[in-house]
Amino acid sequence: MTTLSDPKAGDTAFVSTFSLGAGDGPTVAVKDCIDIAGMVTRCGSAAYADFAPAAQHAAVIERLLSAGCRIVGKARMHEIAYGMTGVNAFEGTPVNPRWRDRIPGGSSSGSAVAVAAGAVDFAIGTDTGGSVRQPAICCGVIGLKPTFGSIDRTGALPAESSLDCIGPFARDMTMIERAMTAIAPGFAPVALDHAPRLGKLNLEVGIAPEMGEALDAIADATAGTVTLSGMDDAFKAAMTIIARETLAANLALLDAGAPFGDDIKARLEGARAVSDAQLEAAEAVRRTFTAEVDAALETVDAIVTPALPSPSPLLSDAHDPNKVLPLTRFLRPFNLSGHPAIILPAPTSGGLPSGVQIIARRGEDARLCAIARRFCQTHSTFQVKDY
């Protein structure tokens, strides 16, 4: 098991702790929107807190146990996985171990904090619009969103989603690949047969200067720029679909007056305004953008983007939409397209959360991990450090 670098912060990652699994493999934290038999899947919400315990394990839990992992706790999360800050008034907000005055990120906040604090070897989260990758970068760890549909979501909430993926957090690529070997059927680490050629995303809208430092660190591997003209439309389309699908998953509870937090209730009510025509338009953007990313990846091995457009907000700014909404500008579009994407953290020279996102072809998750592994080995910038 990892050395516990921040036990106090690590404690805040969990809504409950226990020991499940007889194996002597890695210790794991699991986001509390994933069923574990005999436990209530609370989803970080008072609206779910009094539900009956799950009757059976989620598919990913069965795979973890079969792989010899020991699950040691359920991780806190942004309420119903519908937010990017990780701030949770009902269950408490996990403490970001490295940047205590900043948000832990969401929605898989506790999973990221557990790994960053050294409380577990790896953690499992879910990513509908950046919810693994964004807390990973906020807490300074590695986070992977696999290819859509590659990991069985049975027993994860919401039960129906056209965007959501289960994915791992870890402090190094060896553990990311070990996690993927456990949870993803057919996954096996691969070796690269040539130095990867990266296409650097052409940034049509600027970023904070310090957020580009990590990209500069791998300039030697870039084979030019890649233009994805549909990024902004894809960002908006994914949000339209998320709003519609999140409302559908929670509509019965909302109509029954369930005690959602005020901000979540307001967003759910607002989602009622999403029309069928808007949803159809979003699906058209999905098709166009997916084809655009596929075409770009025919010319390079992977696309690289900044992880964040600007520094992650202070906790005091967590309710400022101007600080929060842009956080997933580079992340959410690849939920829409379904491509695998990984975050490698690299704090700025001034010590702020930052890093890069690498995107690969659909179904080439192992190759994506191999590319990320190479950069972690050859560029000390991307090696997660104790603090």
Q: Can you give the length of the chain in residues? A: 387
Give the distance between the most distant pair of CA atoms in the chain: 57
Q: Say which DSSP state 313 is in.
A: P
C-beta separation of 305 from 100 below 8 A: no
Return the ∠ at Cα 282 (arms to 85 and 303), rounded to 5°: 65
Burial of 278 (0-12, 13-18, 19+ CB in 10 A): middle
Active-site choice (107, 109, 312, 337): 107
Alpha carbon 101 to its chain centroid, in Å, reads 21
CA distance 49 to 15: 11
Distance between CA atoms of 303 and 297, rounded to whole angstroms? 7
Catalytic residue (choose from 109, 111, 131, 337): 131
Cα separation, 103 vs 95, in Å, equals 8
Rounded CA-CA distance 109/123 in Å is 11
Q: Catalytic: 31?
A: yes
> What residues contact residue 156 under an 8 Å CB cut-off, 6+ apart?
33, 34, 35, 58, 60, 126, 164, 166
**CA gap 280, 283 in Å, rounded:** 5
Assess whether 131 carries a catalytic annotation.
yes
Q: From the centroid of its chain, how far is CA 88?
A: 17
Which string of b and e fits 368-382 if b means at least 16 CB within 10 Å? bbbbbbbbbeebebb
Q: Give the whole-angstrom CA distance, residue 181 versus residue 189.
A: 8
Q: Any idea what the Cα angle at residue 334 is, between residues 333 and 336, rounded to 5°?
A: 70
161 is catalytic: no
Which is catalytic among the residues 31, 74, 145, 200? 31
Listed in sequence order, the DSSP H helices in 29-100 are: 59-66
Amino acid, single-letter form, for residue 283: E
Alpha-carbon distance of 133 to 40, in angstroms, equals 26
- List, by residue number, the catalytic residues: 31, 107, 131
